[in-house]
């Protein structure tokens, strides 16, 4: 995929098979039970990175629709520990892409964030959007391992099948 060369996934995903890698943003995995995980490796989110990430989400959403609909929607785990900020237009594009999808595709989202107030504010805005339009809830976390354990996420076995 386009973009800069990616470092390997950071723990706890460092031994997971690569399902989708894109130098514009990072990695995406689909795991049981109906969990869409992304680990962003760009420190500053741009419109290009956000569009590429949402294009990846759209591919997984299309392929896995039957699976996640049985479970009442997807659990999104956003590993955004490496992001320190974003372009204002990138935030607007992110929210716009969420609004375009049919409500009900998300059952819950969890963002693993550094202590950056700007990112926390963006997540709070997304939480309001989810509550009013999309459904589901948005939570904050500091350790992706705890989130995986709390939700019983299983390490995927498939490799490279969303590219």
Domain contains 155: no
Mean pLDDT of the chain, nearest integer: 87
Domain contains 57: yes
Domain contains 160: no
Higher pLDDT, 28 or 3: 28
Q: Hey, is 76 helix, strand or coil?
A: strand
pTM above 0.85, yes or no: yes
- Which pLDDT score, from 0 to 100, does residue 50 have? 96
List, for residues 38-93, the tens digit of each pLDDT value: 999 999 999 999 999 999 999 999 999 999 999 999 999 999 999 888 888 998 89
- 79 bridge partner residues: 39, 112
Residue 38 domain boundaries: 20-150
Domain contains 162: no
Domain contains 14: no
- Count of domains forming the chain: 1
Q: How many CA atoms lie within 13 A of 152 on its CB side?
A: 3
Question: How many Å apart are CA 142 and CA 115, to the nearest integer?
Answer: 9
Percent of the chain whose predicted confidence (pLDDT) is above 70: 82
Give the domain CATH number at 132.
3.30.750.24
Domain contains 13: no
């Amino acid at each position: 995929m386009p973009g800069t060369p990616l470092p390997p996934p950071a723990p706890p995903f460092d031994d997971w098979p690569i399902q989708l890698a894109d130098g514009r943003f990072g990695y995406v995995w689909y795991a049981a039970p109906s969990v869409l995980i992304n680990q962003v490796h760009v420190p500053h989110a741009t419109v290009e990175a956000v569009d590429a990430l949402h294009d990846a989400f759209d591919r997984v959403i299309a392929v896995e629709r039957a699976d996640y609909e049985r479970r009442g929607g997807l659990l999104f785990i956003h590993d955004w520990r490496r992001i320190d900020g974003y372009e204002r237009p990138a935030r607007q594009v992110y929210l716009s892409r969420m609004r375009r999808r049919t409500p009900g595709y998300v059952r819950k989202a969890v963002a693993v964030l550094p202590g950056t107030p700007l990112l926390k504010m963006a997540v709070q805005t997304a939480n309001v959007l989810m509550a009013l339009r999309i459904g589901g809830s948005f939570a904050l976390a500091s350790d992706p391992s705890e989130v995986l354990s709390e939700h019983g996420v299983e390490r995927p076995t498939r490799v490279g099948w969303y590219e």
